[in-house]
């Protein structure tokens, strides 16, 4: 909710209304190369969660858009309750997979990556997902009273502070290609214990469009991480822009601390709902 | 406190011994002959310049001279000097009115020498800039709208964040470090329309003084500067209306006597009509502001005068029926000038000031309110013992009421729970005494002390944290995180949560080397108890003010300054060179990803550090002739440092100094006004500034649908240099001379050569080429403007 407030301020800013934008050439320096670990263990409700993928890449210069895979790493996730280990093997350049992972709610796991003579480690706890109670569609809700939206109703976990993530994937005409993606994280600050409606609004929504909704409960630290990522990726402008930050995740380099990696290790159960717009 | 009061008393008694018999005091007011407005800073002196004084902000002066005959010269910048001969055999009241020199710019100016500037050389006050509204009105401005804040940024040591941003920065300070006063009431947000306009309506303003250093002891509470703006009292002789019609807003001012020579009123209003102008004002968007200045002055008798003034301003925005927002300052004050005797002047003020911000989300069914209210009682006195000593002393008590925010559902079906952030309460008592001490004809001192305290009080419940650390450092991940509270403390209504005291020495010195040259030095210490919580480059109306307390310490600043002042060619030119060094303790910055909106526990988002600034300022003014204007140049540095609190913590930017967002290495402005003839006057500004510090990415990576730019250092890069040239032409109708209705047309072009100044540079992926690129956002291209002004 707070993020919304801030976005609104940005939208509202009068600069938007009278300013002009053009592309300019700016020479940039390139900082040292770092490992990027995308270790997102997602357990779709109703599946076994055995198949999991972790991606390793490297940072590149800002004007070079090629994704550079990090190959030849060793990788294992360990259940710290049972000490059971799950090995990940490289199936493509920088893509590491397993098919025997066993997800358990509220269990803490440890990730260990050996790469380039350094060992990277992180621990994280697998969190349960909130239940999606229903999905509806409307026109007059949402930010604009004219644009259509899909509403998602879910129940906040009671009597505790929670952090959530909801992802909307938008597929036009029920096709496979994703037309839009919206990722929101929020805290249950003003909605504690309520049944809450969230919405995805898009003026292009029409009959037979498919919306896929993924609902997660996340840790406070992961919430902070995603918030910072969004702040970085969301290039707000003007005098009200927030200062850019160096986003560090929860993975450390145990061999050489200042050669820290980017990325995050998170384990989540996910409730997914799919809605076909009428 | 008692001890200090006794101290003042004994100083008084001590000084009383110096008063030599056979001296008499002349006192009174100096005012404008045409409208009765009293003049602040007007000079009255003996013809050999050895003895003189200046009027205070209420136009009052007190001059003690030996018995006998004297020739007095009364002068004020832009006015015709007056000579008065007196034979002093007793204390006398002498009210003097002087005449504005209106169309004399191209004639030889008055025979009386310009005492004004000589007195200025003698006065210990340095780092002050006084502008009269006439000067401000002559500078070309964007949209043709006269703007006090834009004009002061043309002076050395003052910068802004560029076009369309609010606030201003003085000597490398943040904008919340400026004390902005309108008729003594604090203005918490100085801008309309997010910074395109200032809240000051030039029609209602008499004069402004900006203190950048050597701040007199009667002011306190902000570490960087004091902008003291005074409203006109209203014409007590004749009824007048003037106004103007511009592209963005129109204004109207009415003033006149209620009782001739005794009581007057002033009412001035402005309203904008931006909507039609905004190209994107499709759908149901609207944006606008209005403000109203009002004042009543009543002179009960020679010894008593009352002033009642108020300011009411509001901005409002509406976006697509979805969203309504408004913000504004409201101030109200009542002042009583009382003259105990010809040597002791006093002013008692009761001041109320409020800033509020409202936001209503129509479709989300909730609204948001936040604000700050202060009420202040102040008593300022000035005792003019004799030529040698003048004592300024007084006391002030301020009560603060902070509303950091209330969220309220606006319908029964709203999913939003009512949520009220803790209200915060505080009060700030202060006393001061400051002596103006003339040691010799060449050496003048002003020294004093301000003692203040700040009490943060309940009712409030605060979280407690392990070791009182609300922000914890995670050494493994090298990040700062919010601490988890370990408990709560409840403070009862009125119970003290935290208290601070500050003893602030102030010292200024002026040494006159010869008739035309002087050197000055000053030192000041100031405590600032309020902080504007703002994580953006320039303040937004939504930012909340927060008081010092258990977790946020007051900002404490020292400033040292030296200066060199010279009159050249019989005051044709004046040159001022100043250098300063300033440090501030407990300046706050924010942890990465700080969440400042609607946060009841701001302490978990804040780290304290220090800042420092230093620089050299040069101001060369041409004061006389057809061409007047100034050249201003500043070279400076402003930086900030947040070190770790323990050896393992890294702080921000690895504990190294980093540029503040308002660091500008070079800042140059040239302003000129040329009076061609009675019909035409031309003005021009040129401004050049080092680009403001920025952050550019030094790499990128992919993570879960995000392309994440890598930023490592803070404020290490800069936007391109900022510069523009503006011109204006004013056409005075020939017919004006013979009629009561006077009018003028002002034509202007802002940014004449169409410089695309970067308000920001952002980096994004081009959706067509899929390549990253740098995008410059610039605000004003070439902006022509036309304004019609009238008065009768």
Longest dimension (CA), chain A: 61
Nearest CA to B710 out of A184, A258, A229, A115 is that of A229
pLDDT value of residue B522: 96
When pLDDT is averaged across residues B416-443 and rounded to a whole number, the result is 91
Nearest CA to B198 out of B153, B156, B237 is that of B153
Same domain, B567 and B422: yes
Q: Which of these three, B116, B140, B168, is where a domain ends? A: B116
* Whole-prediction pTM: 0.87
- Report the SS3 class of residue B713: coil
Same domain, B101 and B240: no
- Of A21, A144, A262, Cβ closest to residue B703: A262
Q: Which of these three, B116, B137, B169, is where a domain ends? A: B116
CATH number where B435 lies? 2.40.170.20
Same domain, B525 and B664: yes
pLDDT value of residue B592: 81
pLDDT digits (tens, 9 = 90+) for B633-674: 999 999 999 998 888 888 888 889 999 988 999 999 999 989
Nearest CA to A86 out of A68, A69, A102 is that of A102
Q: How far apart are CA B382 and CA B62, in angstroms?
A: 10
Whether residue B268 has pLDDT greater than 60: yes
Which domains are seen in chain A, by residue range? 2-10+130-219 (2.60.40), 34-127+234-270 (2.60.40)
Report yes or no on B26 lying in a domain.
Answer: yes
Whether residue B722 has pLDDT greater than 90: yes
Q: Which of these three, B116, B137, B170, is where a domain ends? A: B116
Report yes or no on B598 lying in a domain.
Answer: yes
Residues from chain B contacting residue A5 (CB–CB below 8 Å): 359, 368, 542, 597-598
> Cβ(A215)–Cβ(A152) under 8 Å?
yes
Q: How far apart are CA B215 and CA B218, in angstroms?
A: 8
Whether residue B3 has pLDDT greater than 60: no
B707 vs A269: which has the higher pLDDT: A269
Provide the domain count of chain B: 2
Same domain, B265 and B407: yes
Report yes or no on B619 lying in a domain.
Answer: yes
Report yes or no on B132 lying in a domain.
Answer: no
Percent of chain B exceeding pLDDT 90 equals 48
Q: At A65, is the pLDDT very low, low, confident or very high (cuts 50, 70, 90)? A: confident
Report yes or no on B195 lying in a domain.
Answer: no
Residue A197: closest C-alpha in chain B: B415
Nearest CA to B641 out of B664, B675, B600, B607 is that of B607
Report yes or no on B84 lying in a domain.
Answer: yes
Interchain contact B152–A (C-beta under 8 A): no
Report yes or no on B600 lying in a domain.
Answer: yes
Interchain contact B282–A (C-beta under 8 A): no
Within B599-679, strands assigned E span: 606-622, 627-641, 658-659, 666-675
Domain span at residue B92?
A: 2-116
- What is the ipTM, given to two decimal places? 0.89
Within B693-771, strands assigned E span: 693-694, 700-703, 706-709, 717-718, 722-732, 742-750, 758-765
> Cβ(B287)–Cβ(B317) under 8 Å?
yes
Report yes or no on B90 lying in a domain.
Answer: yes
- Of A20, A221, A228, Cβ closest to residue B778: A20
> Cβ(B33)–Cβ(B97) under 8 Å?
yes
pLDDT value of residue B1: 44
When pLDDT is averaged across residues B137-153 and rounded to a whole number, the result is 78
When pLDDT is averaged across residues A60-69 and rounded to a whole number, the result is 88
Cβ contact A227–B703 (<8 Å): no
- How many C-beta atoms lie closer than 10 Å to residue B597's C-beta? 20
> Cβ(B446)–Cβ(B507) under 8 Å?
yes
Residues from chain B contacting residue A243 (CB–CB below 8 Å): 535, 537, 590, 695, 714-715
pLDDT digits (tens, 9 = 90+) for B548-573: 999 999 999 999 999 999 988 877 89
Same domain, B562 and B700: yes
A residues 92-151 lying closer than 8 A (beta carbon) to B: 140-145
> SS in 3 state form for B53-84?
EECCCCCEEEEEEECEEEEEEEECCCECCEEE
Q: Is the peptide bond before A78 cis (omega within 30 degrees of 0)?
A: no
pLDDT value of residue B120: 67
Terminal alpha carbon distance of chain A: 28
When pLDDT is averaged across residues B766-777 and rounded to a whole number, the result is 82
Residues from chain A contacting residue B538 (CB–CB below 8 Å): 239-240
Same domain, B322 and B470: yes
pLDDT value of residue B550: 93
Instruction: Specify the range with the lowest mean pLDDT, choosing from A2-16, B79-93, B523-537, B760-774.
Output: A2-16
CATH number where B33 lies? 2.60.40.1120
């Amino acid at each position: 909710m707070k993020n919304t407030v801030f976005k609104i301020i940005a939208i509202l800013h009068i600069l938007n209304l009278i300013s002009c934008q053009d592309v300019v050439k700016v020479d940039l320096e390139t900082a040292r190369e770092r490992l990027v670990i995308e270790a997102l263990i997602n357990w779709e409700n109703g599946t076994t969660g055995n198949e999991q993928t972790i991606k390793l890449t490297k940072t590149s210069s800002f004007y070079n858009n090629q994704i550079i895979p990090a190959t030849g790493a060793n990788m294992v996730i360990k259940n710290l309750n049972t000490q059971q280990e799950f090995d990940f093997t490289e199936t493509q350049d920088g893509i590491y997979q397993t098919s025997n992972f066993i997800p358990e709610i509220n269990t803490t796991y440890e990730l260990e990556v050996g790469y380039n003579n350094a060992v990277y480690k992180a621990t994280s706890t697998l969190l349960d997902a909130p239940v999606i109670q229903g999905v509806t569609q409307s026109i007059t809700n949402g930010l604009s009273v004219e644009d259509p939206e899909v509403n998602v109703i879910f129940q906040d976990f009671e009597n505790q502070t929670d952090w959530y993530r909801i992802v909307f994937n938008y597929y036009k005409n029920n096709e496979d290609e994703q037309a839009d993606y919206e990722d929101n994280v929020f805290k249950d600050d003003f909605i504690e214990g309520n049944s809450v409606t969230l919405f995805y609004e898009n003026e292009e929504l029409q009959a037979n469009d498919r919306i896929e909704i993924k609902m997660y409960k996340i840790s406070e630290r992961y919430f902070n991480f995603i918030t910072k990522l969004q702040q970085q990726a969301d290039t707000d402008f003007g005098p009200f822009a927030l200062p850019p930050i160096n986003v560090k995740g929860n993975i450390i380099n145990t061999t050489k601390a200042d050669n820290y990696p980017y990325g995050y290790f998170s384990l989540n159960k996910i409730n997914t709902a799919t809605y076909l717009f009428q | 406190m008692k001890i200090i009061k006794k101290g003042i008393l004994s100083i008084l008694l001590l000084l009383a011994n110096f008063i030599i018999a056979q001296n008499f005091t002349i006192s009174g007011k100096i005012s404008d002959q045409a409208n009765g407005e009293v003049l602040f800073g007007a000079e009255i002196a003996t013809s050999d310049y050895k003895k003189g004084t200046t009027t205070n902000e209420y136009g009052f002066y007190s001059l003690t001279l030996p018995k006998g005959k004297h020739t007095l010269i009364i002068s004020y910048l832009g006015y015709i000097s007056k000579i008065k001969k007196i034979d002093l055999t007793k204390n006398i009241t002498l009210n003097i009115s002087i005449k504005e020199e209106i169309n004399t710019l191209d004639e030889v100016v008055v025979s009386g020498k310009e005492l004004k500037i000589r007195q200025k050389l003698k006065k210990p006050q340095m780092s002050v800039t006084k502008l009269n509204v006439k000067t401000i009105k002559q500078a070309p401005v964007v949209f043709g709208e006269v703007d006090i804040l834009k004009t002061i940024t043309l002076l050395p040591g003052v910068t802004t964040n560029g076009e369309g941003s609010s606030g201003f920065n003085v000597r490398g300070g943040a904008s919340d470090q400026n004390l902005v006063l309108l008729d003594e009431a604090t203005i918490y947000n100085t801008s309309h329309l997010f910074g395109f306009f200032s809240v000051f309506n030039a029609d209602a303003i008499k004069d402004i003084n900006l203190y950048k250093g050597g701040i007199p002891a009667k002011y306190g509470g902000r570490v960087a500067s004091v902008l003291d703006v005074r409203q006109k009292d209203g014409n007590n002789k004749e009824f007048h209306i003037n106004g103007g019609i511009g592209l963005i807003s129109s204004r109207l001012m009415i003033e006149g006597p209620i009782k001739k020579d005794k009581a007057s009123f002033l009412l001035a209003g402005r309203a904008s009509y931006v909507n039609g102008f905004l190209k994107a004002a499709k759908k149901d968007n609207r944006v606008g502001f209005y403000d109203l200045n009002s004042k009543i002055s009543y002179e009960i008798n020679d010894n008593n005068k009352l002033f009642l003034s108020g300011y009411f301003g509001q901005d409002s925005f509406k976006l697509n029926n979805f969203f309504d927002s408004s913000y504004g300052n409201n101030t109200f004050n009542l002042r009583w000038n009382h003259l105990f005797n010809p040597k002791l002047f006093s002013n008692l003020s009761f001041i109320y000031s409020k800033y509020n911000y409202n936001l209503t989300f129509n479709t989300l069914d909730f609204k948001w309110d936040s604000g700050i209210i202060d009420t202040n009682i102040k008593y300022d006195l000035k005792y003019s013992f004799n030529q040698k000593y003048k004592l300024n002393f007084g006391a002030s008590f301020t009560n603060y009421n902070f509303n950091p925010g209330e969220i309220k559902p606006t319908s029964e079906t709203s999913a939003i729970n009512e949520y009220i952030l803790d209200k915060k309460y505080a009060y700030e008592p202060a006393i001061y005494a400051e002596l103006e001490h003339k040691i010799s004809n060449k050496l003048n001192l002003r020294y004093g002390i301000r003692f203040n305290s700040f009490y943060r009080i309940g009712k409030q419940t605060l979280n407690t944290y392990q070791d009182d650390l609300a922000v914890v450092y995670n050494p493994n991940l090298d990040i700062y995180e919010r601490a988890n509270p370990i408990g709560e403390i409840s403070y009862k209504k009125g119970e003290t949560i935290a208290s601070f005291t500050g003893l602030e020495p102030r010292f200024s010195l002026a040494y006159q080397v010869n008739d035309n040259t002087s050197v000055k030095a000053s030192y000041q210490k100031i405590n600032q108890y309020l902080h504007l919580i703002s994580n953006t480059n320039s303040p937004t109306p939504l930012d909340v003010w927060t008081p010092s307390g258990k977790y946020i310490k007051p900002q404490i600043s020292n400033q040292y300054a030296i200066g060199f002042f010279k009159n050249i060619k019989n005051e044709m030119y004046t040159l001022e060179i100043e250098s300063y060094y300033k440090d501030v303790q407990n300046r706050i910055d924010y942890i990465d990803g700080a969440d400042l909106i609607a946060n009841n526990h701001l302490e978990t988002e804040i780290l304290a550090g220090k800042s420092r600034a230093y620089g050299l300022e040069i101001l060369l003014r041409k004061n006389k002739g057809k061409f007047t204007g100034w050249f201003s140049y500043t070279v400076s540095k402003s930086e900030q440092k947040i070190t770790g609190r323990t050896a393992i913590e890294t702080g921000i930017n690895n504990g190294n100094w980093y540029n503040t967002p308002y660091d500008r290495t070079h800042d140059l402005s040239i302003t000129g006004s040329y009076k061609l003839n009675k019909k035409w006057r031309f003005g021009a500004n040129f401004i050049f500034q080092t680009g403001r510090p920025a952050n550019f990415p030094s790499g990128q990576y992919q993570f879960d649908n995000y392309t994440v730019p890598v930023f490592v250092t803070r404020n290490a890069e800069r936007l391109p240099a900022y510069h523009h040239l503006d011109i204006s032409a004013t056409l005075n109708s020939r017919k004006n001379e013979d009629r009561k209705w006077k009018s003028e047309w002002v034509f202007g072009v802002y940014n004449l050569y169409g410089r695309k100044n970067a308000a920001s540079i952002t980096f994004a992926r081009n959706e067509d080429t899929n390549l990253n690129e740098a995008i410059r956002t610039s605000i004003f291209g070439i902006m022509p403007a036309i304004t019609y002004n009238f008065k009768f």
